[in-house]
Structures are given as C-alpha cells and as structure tokens.
Structure 1
Amino acid sequence: MKAIKEVVRQLIKTHKSNDPFQIAKEKNIIILFAELGNTLGFYSSYKRTQFIHLNSQLDEMMQRFVCAHELGHAVLHPDSNTPFLRANTLFSVEKLEVEANTFAVELLLSDDIITQYQNTDLTIYDIAEIYSVPRQLVYLKSCLQPSFF
C-alpha cells in the first residue's frame, strides 16, 4: 500500500491539488454523470479515451469520493474492466477495489491534511467526514496514529 501512497503523493505534487475532478480533467479523463441505479460509478476506456461514470443521484460529497475511487482505477488499473470481470469471469476484483479505495482515501485525506488537525479535538472520523471519506474506509489510511481513533 506504500506504493499507492507514493503514487498519490506524486499526483498531488504534479497537479498541485487533491481534487479528483481537477486531476481527472488535467489527465484528460472525461467525467460523465448519469442515473446509474444502484451503481455508484465506474471507470472505462475506449480507444485510449478514459471515462469516469458517476451516478448523478449521489450527493456532492459521495460523488467526490466515488470520483477519487474511479480515478484510482484509471491511474492504477487503466486496462482493467472490473464490471466486465465481475459479470463475465470468476476473477476476484476485490484486490482492485481495495486498491482503488486506498487510493481515494490517500488522495482525499493526505498526511498534510491530517497533520493540520493533530492538536484539535477532532477524531480521524470527523476529519474524514469533512473531506468526503466514508467512515468505514478510514482504516485504509496508512499513517494513522492511535491517538486519532
């Protein structure tokens, strides 16, 4: 997971932002909004053009996290089609999903952000909520100190 943290750190440095929408735009990844039913979002590519599909029914905070997650797929697994693999093969996509979630958590909850709150009464869960990271995924943050829990 340290490799993912370094990829994210370099991405933030290159794009001078941790905003997944801005980074996607600068990487020429097209973001499409559509009603996707129960699907939060997905990543796809066609003829070297990359797409992030986001469920337009999600609130802004969740769209931000899902965009970060799908950006993780675009950066870490650009040639993998998890919806296809899930529907048509016995290949487990769990590892790819955990990596994309880890990417999203590292992007939205960078070490610099956490450090800003170190001497406050906020818990890591409070900080995560401020930065659009679902509470149940906070455990993926690799630099956490016990005092934050």
Structure 2
Amino acid sequence: MCYEKEAVDKLIKKYKTCDPFELCDYMNIQVRYSDIGEYRGMYRYSKRNQFITINTSVPDELLKIVCGHEIGHAVLHRGINRIFMDTTFFSPSKYERQADRVSAYLALANWDKRDLYGLSIDEIYGLTDIPIEYLWLVIGK
C-alpha cells in the first residue's frame, strides 16, 4: 500500500470521516477563503498553528478537492519549512503529487470499490467528479 493511502486510512479511522472540511475541524486546521491570485489553495504551518487558505475563485465542486490537497501537505509535509501552493492539477513536484494523491484517496473513500471496478478513468471521473489528473495518480496504469 502506498504511503499516501496509509495516511488517508489513518485519518479516516481516527476521525471517522473523509470530508476534508470536517477533518480540518478535528485537526485544528483553520480554513480561510481569500483572493490568492493564481493559486487555488495554500497550506501554512506557523508557530504550531496550521492554516489552509482556499481561493475565493475556486468553484464549489472543487472545494473539497482543494482542501483535501492542502490536508495532504498538513499530514505529509508539516515539518518542512515552506509554504505549499497549488496552482495546477498536475504538478511535477514530488510534494504536490503526494498531496494530490491524498486528495484523491479522500474523495474516493466514499465510493464502494465494487461500484468502480472495471470502469475506465473517464467513467470514474463522470461518476465522482474527481479530476482525471488525480485519478491517474491513484488508479491509472
């Protein structure tokens, strides 16, 4: 099992939810909305406080995806002293790909694997609205 999937499974088991906004509440991560230019989301850790900022221009159907991505940074990269900013769905950065996987696993957690078995990535996208680029990271071959 991959590192990101294990991290998501631990979160879901501990907090009994896969909803990124509920996870933020449980994990004491402050979520804010602001115009942050070209960035969809940003995670920041400062003085034992965690913040996620989501761009006010993010469409409603992507809010959980963006928040889930930033939770990926909170869970996997908190000790790294830098600000993570997400601008595209498919970033070449190792850290961005890991955060993308966390977001995808969180989004897929509500789906019964039997309902998705044998479906193409395009078909899964049609059912789940999880960005295809994220799906490729977790189930693409």
TM-score relative to the length of structure 2: 0.82
- Provide structure 1 residue ranges, at least 5 long, that are not aligned to the other structure: 85-92
Percent identity of equivalent pairs:
31
Contact residue 64 and residue 132 of structure 1 kept, 8 A: no
Task: Return the index of the structure with the highest Cα Rg.
Answer: 1
- Kindly report the root-mean-square deviation, in angstroms, between the aligned alpha carbons of the 2 structures: 2.5
Deviation at 1:57, TM superposition (A): 1.2
CA distance in 1, matches of 2:117, 2:2: 25
Q: 1:62 to 1:82 in 2, by over 3 A?
A: same
Task: Spell out the pairing of 1:1-149 with structure 2 (5 A cutoff).
Answer: 2-80=2-80, 81-83=82-84, 94-110=93-109, 113-118=111-116, 123-142=120-139
Q: Secondary structure at the match of 1:113?
A: coil
* Amino acid in the other structure paired with 2:104: V
Q: Deviations over 1:1-50 (max 9, x none)?
A: 71211111111111111100100111000000001121101100221010
CA distance in 2, matches of 1:119, 1:65: 22
- Provide structure 2 residue ranges, at least 5 long, that are not aligned to the other structure: 86-91
Q: Deviations over 1:44-72 (max 9, x none)?
A: 02210100010011111212111000000
Q: 1:138 to 1:27 in 2, by over 3 A?
A: same
Contact residue 114 and residue 127 of structure 1 kept, 8 A: no
Q: Deviations over 1:110-139 (max 9, x none)?
A: 3x615141479x644343354442112211
CA distance in 2, matches of 1:59, 1:51: 20
Structure 1 runs of 4+ with >6 Å offset: none
TM-score relative to the length of structure 1: 0.78
